[in-house]
Amino acid sequence: MELNTLKPAPGSKRARKRVCRGIGSGTGKTGGRGHKGQRARSGGFHKVGFEGGQMPLQRRLPKRGFNSPTREDTAEVRLSDLERLKAEKIDLAALKEAGVVPAFSNAAKVIVSGKLTRKVALAGIAVSKGARAAIEAAGGSTDAPIPQPKPKPEPKWVAAPQPEAQVREGESREPAGGEHGNNGEQQRCGGEMEMTFR
């Protein structure tokens, strides 16, 4: 193989299509646009995805979720990455210098992936629950705060207890339908019998 014998692989370089170059080219006269119509005119292209007025495909399909604009701000760090670093005290600057996280990262978080067998001290780096246990088991430490469970919200409405029927002192109640009929109730007031109707 010599420099003067180098050439592209067969089929990798194809001549561009030259339209409107006579009937012998196969794309003469109308240049592959056909006869009349919007797409045959100059400037007849409407827009990508336009379907003649009906609801286009990108709007017919359901949407779910979102793409966070800050998804790349926090970089993931594996336990195996910490094992390869020589420094004992590790912060975000040390991770960037070693090339573990990208230079544009604003934060980093250690996740459970790989093994950690040496003592490291993390500063300013978030850790997951499993990563914290692995770091502490290896004799290391981290200044990341332990997440506290959120308090349960108090119910907005609490049913008030129903007061029980209180009987006044010195008052006796007899069931309806006694001696004085179904609708009467007897009361003693000053030694006299008095009838009260409901």
pLDDT tens for the chain, residues 1 to 198: 899 999 999 999 999 999 999 999 999 999 999 999 988 999 988 889 999 899 999 999 999 999 989 888 999 999 999 999 988 899 999 999 999 999 999 999 999 999 999 999 999 999 999 999 999 999 999 998 988 888 888 887 777 777 765 555 555 555 555 555 455 444 454 445 555 555
Q: 137 to each of 32, 107, 128, 147, how far by Cα in Å?
A: 72, 24, 14, 19
79 Cβ contact partners less than 8 Å away, ≥ 6 residues apart:
110, 111, 112, 113, 114, 115, 116, 131, 134, 135
User: How high is the pLDDT of residue 176?
Assistant: 53
- Answer whether CATH 3.90.1150.10 is correct for domain 74-142: no
User: How high is the pLDDT of residue 4?
Assistant: 94
Q: What is the pTM of this model?
A: 0.49
- Nearest partner of 82 among 95, 93, 97, 72, judged by Cα: 95
Output phi, psi for 165, to 5 deg. -65, 120
Pull the structure tokens for residue 82: 């910490």
User: How high is the pLDDT of residue 184?
Assistant: 46
- Nearest partner of 92 among 113, 110, 117, judged by Cα: 110
Q: Tell me the domain boundaries of the chain.
A: 74-142
